[in-house]
């Protein structure tokens, strides 16, 4: 799994940093897979469109 590889490379990460990194990678993968469609990406992730927009801005993915 992607997050395991990353975690072993950076064992000094805090729990929050590790969770944020994993969350960002999941969102980025689905965002690209859905070709940038908000509703489809949110549906795939099981979150609201509003929350997805917040996280896209948070992680600077759009």
Q: How far apart are CA 26 and CA 6, in angstroms?
A: 13
Please indicate, yes or no, whether the overall pTM of this predicted structure exceeds 0.85. Answer: no
Mean pLDDT, rounded, for 6-22: 79
- 49-58 vs 38-45: helix crossing angle, rounded to 10: 100
Express each pLDDT in 16-41 by its tens digit: 988 999 999 999 999 999 999 999 99
Residue 14 clears pLDDT 90, i.e. is over it: no
Express each pLDDT in 48-60 by its tens digit: 999 999 999 999 9
Q: How far apart are CA 58 and CA 28, in angstroms?
A: 12
Residue 4 clears pLDDT 90, i.e. is over it: no
């Amino acid at each position: 799994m992607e997050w395991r590889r990353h975690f072993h490379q950076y064992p000094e990460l805090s729990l929050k940093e590790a969770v944020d990194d994993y969350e960002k990678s999941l969102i980025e993968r689905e965002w690209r897979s859905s070709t940038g469609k908000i509703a489809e990406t949110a549906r795939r992730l099981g979150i609201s469109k509003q929350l997805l927009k917040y996280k896209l801005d948070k992680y600077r993915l759009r």
